[in-house]
Amino acid sequence: MYRIGIIGGGQLGKMMILDAKRLDTYFVILDPTPKCPADSIADEHIVAEFDDVRAFHELAEKVDVVTYEFEHINAEALQELEAEGHKVYPSSETLLHIQNKYHQKEWLKKHGLPVPDFKKVETPEDIREAGKVFGYPMMLKTCTGGYDGKGNAPVNTEADVESAFGALGAGSLPLMVEAFCPFIKEVSVLVCRSVNGDVKVFPVAENVHKDSILDETTVPADISDECTKKAMDIAREAVHVFNACGMLCIELFVTGDGQVLVNELAPRPHNSGHYTIEGCVTSQYENHIRGILGLPLGSTELLRPTVMKNIIGQYPVDKAEVKGLDEAYAIGEVKVHIYGKEKVSKGRKMGHITVTAPTVEEALSKARLAHSKISF
């Protein structure tokens, strides 16, 4: 039996467990929410905060390997576990390079991977100086903790400097500024590396965001063969540069003149990889578990054109009850995933829809129609 610990019990952790239950596995999750999505299928649940070092040790003692479903956790606590001989994948070293966006970009640049211009800043004057070099617009970012647009503040002109600085804590958090990238497409590539060094790359996915939250993922991406090759080459290099184990997601910008630049990385399964459950021979979740256990990785071949559409909360609801499944499933070729979150809030990811079809256009049409039927 494989005993696996997951820090985080959200939808990513739940989908890891679902895909790995075909194996002889035993899962222990650590999450502060008693009825988190993964609680219903985990074998054990340690209810503890993500900064509870004691709970990290309790988790590690119960399992053969520890992994995590999000990167905003205590890397030093993971280092302690590794020092005691526990297996942690991705490693604390990988996490430390990635969870601070400035360090992440520095590491990418040092190893020759293409990134937009960036600069660490501490004061409004630093931001203005960057504006003189990069030009406007720019994006001010917190170096740690941001996701789904949180931790970002646009600086469209010099007049926006003070308000953007204030919006991100007025210097109470480490900040960086990034030059605007005139992208025409946002894409991502998922790559998995096993503890044995085996590497598998998934197809390039095209992503559309609304209000800084992923809305739709389409595979294959509608980009040139040249840009596709660049994106996949970057992914293969990145997984080695960061010495990653398990899944690594590389989010990229594609520009009108054919450049492909790294936006950011996530050392885990990713929202833009949900499509792999139905769309590929082996999902990102199964390959993540295979990778951290040292099992041979599965084929990442795309079976058919695939579209994933997120189901996002539109307004607060105290008790989440999904409606419209009958109508959505009646469309055909539609798969609906509901995460089992107790409450709905605006912008919260409540589930997703996946459609595979003979063409991207048909899959997209059916996914959007099914999405229109579902509500909470």
The CATH number given to whatever domain includes residue 365 is 3.30.470.20
Same domain assignment for residues 239 and 364: yes
Residue 222, in any domain of the structure: yes
Q: What angle do CA 327, 270, 260 make, to 5 degrees?
A: 115
pLDDT at 74: 93
Q: How far apart are CA 308 and CA 303, in angstroms?
A: 14
Within a domain: 95: no
Looking at residue 344, its pLDDT comes to 97
- List the Cα angle 79/272/304 in 5-degree steps: 130
Tell me: pLDDT of 294 over 80: yes
**pLDDT for res 30:** 99
Residue range 115-132, pLDDT digits in tens: 999 999 999 999 999 999
pLDDT of residue 146: 74
Q: Is the pLDDT of residue 149 over 90?
A: no
Preceding peptide of 32 cis, ω within 30°: no
Q: Domain for residue 110, yes or no? A: no
Residue 243: what pLDDT? 98
Q: Is the pLDDT of residue 97 over 90?
A: yes
Quote the CA–CA distance of 259 and 252 in Å, as a whole number: 10
Task: Answer whether 243's CB lies under 8 Å from 93's CB.
Answer: yes
Does 142 share its domain with 269?
no
Report, as an integer, the average pLDDT of 94-99. 97
Q: Which residue ranges make up the annotated binding site?
A: 101, 141, 186, 209, 263-264
Query: Does the pLDDT value for residue 163 go beyond 90?
Result: yes
Q: Tell me, what amino acid is at 43?
A: D
Whether residue 175 is predicted with pLDDT greater than 80 in this model: the reply is yes
CA distance 109 to 91: 21
> Is 97 contained in some domain?
no
174 lies in the same domain as 206: no
End-of-domain residue from the set 162, 179, 196: 179
Residues 275 and 328 both lie in one domain: yes
Share of the chain above pLDDT 90, in %: 97
Distance between CA atoms of residues 315 and 375, nearest Å: 11
174 and 299 fall within a common domain: no
**Tokens 């999750």 found at:** 29
Judgement on whether residues 309 and 217 belong to the same structural domain of the protein: yes
Q: Exposed e or buried b for every residue in 68-105, given b needs 16+ CB within 10 A?
A: bbbbebbbebbbbbeeeebbbbbbbbbbbbbbbbbbbb
- Extract the tokens encoding 363: 């899959």
Q: What is the pLDDT of residue 147?
A: 77
- DSSP state letters, 310-354: EEE--S-BSS---B-HHHHHTTSSEEEEE---S-B-TT-EEEEEE
Q: Would the pLDDT of 17 be above 90?
A: yes
Provide the pLDDT confidence category of residue 310 given band limits of 50, 70 and 90. Answer: very high
Residues 10 and 131 reside in one and the same domain: no
Q: Look at residue 67 and give its three-state secondary structure.
A: strand
Q: Is residue 151 part of a domain?
A: yes
- Domain boundary (146, 164, 179) is at 179
Q: Is the predicted pLDDT of residue 148 greater than 80, yes or no?
A: no
| Nearest of 62, 61, 60, 47 to residue 8 by alpha carbon | 47
Binding-site members for ATP are 101, 141, 186, 209, 263-264
Cα 261 to Cα 113: distance, rounded to the nearest angstrom = 8
Centre a 10 Å sphere on the Cβ of residue 9 and count the other Cβ atoms it contains: 28
Percentage of the chain modeled with pLDDT above 70: 100
3-state secondary structure of 168: coil
Q: What is the mean pLDDT of the chain?
A: 97
**Is residue 109 domain-resident?**
no
Q: Are residues 196 and 131 in the same domain?
A: no
For 29-49, what is the mean pLDDT? 98
CA torsion angle 289 290 294 295 (round to 10): 160
For residue 7, the domain's CATH number is 3.40.50.20
pLDDT tens-digit readout, 207-249: 999 999 999 999 999 999 999 999 999 999 999 999 999 999 9
Q: Domain count for the chain, please give it.
A: 3
In order, the DSSP letters of 198-249 are -EEEPPPEEEEEETTEEEEEEES-SS-HHHHHHHHHHHHHHHHHTT--EEEE
The answer on 304 and 228 residing in a single domain is yes
**Domain membership flag for residue 245:** yes
Q: Are residues 173 and 204 in the same domain?
A: no
> Among 127-131, 150-154, 319-323, which stretch is predicted with the lowest mean pLDDT?
150-154
Helix, strand, coil shares of the chain as percentages rounded to 5? 35, 30, 40
Establish if 112 belongs to a structural domain.
no
Q: Cα(4)–Cα(59) distance, rounded to whole angstroms?
A: 9
The predicted structure's pLDDT at residue 145: 82
Q: Would strands 25-30 and 2-7 be described as parallel, antiparallel, or unpaired?
A: parallel
Higher-scoring residue by pLDDT: 308, 150: 308
319 and 233 fall within a common domain: yes
Q: Are 259 and 340 part of one and the same domain?
A: yes
Q: Which domain covers residue 140, as residue numbers?
A: 117-179
Residue that is last in its domain, among 179, 199, 215: 179
Cα-Cα-Cα-Cα dihedral sign, residues 133, 134, 137, 143: negative
Per-residue pLDDT at 76: 95
| Surface-to-core class of residue 256, CB atoms within 10 Å of its CB (0-12 exposed, 13-18 middle, 19+ buried) | exposed
- Which of 351, 358, 251 minimizes the C-alpha distance to 10? 351
Q: Return d(Cα 330, Cα 322) in angstroms, integer.
A: 16
Question: Are 164 and 155 in contact, with CB atoms under 8 Å apart?
Answer: yes
Q: What is the CATH number of the domain that holds 166?
A: 3.30.1490.20
| Measured distance CA(206)–CA(340) in Å, rounded | 27
Q: How confident is the model at residue 170 (pLDDT cuts 50, 70, 90)?
A: confident
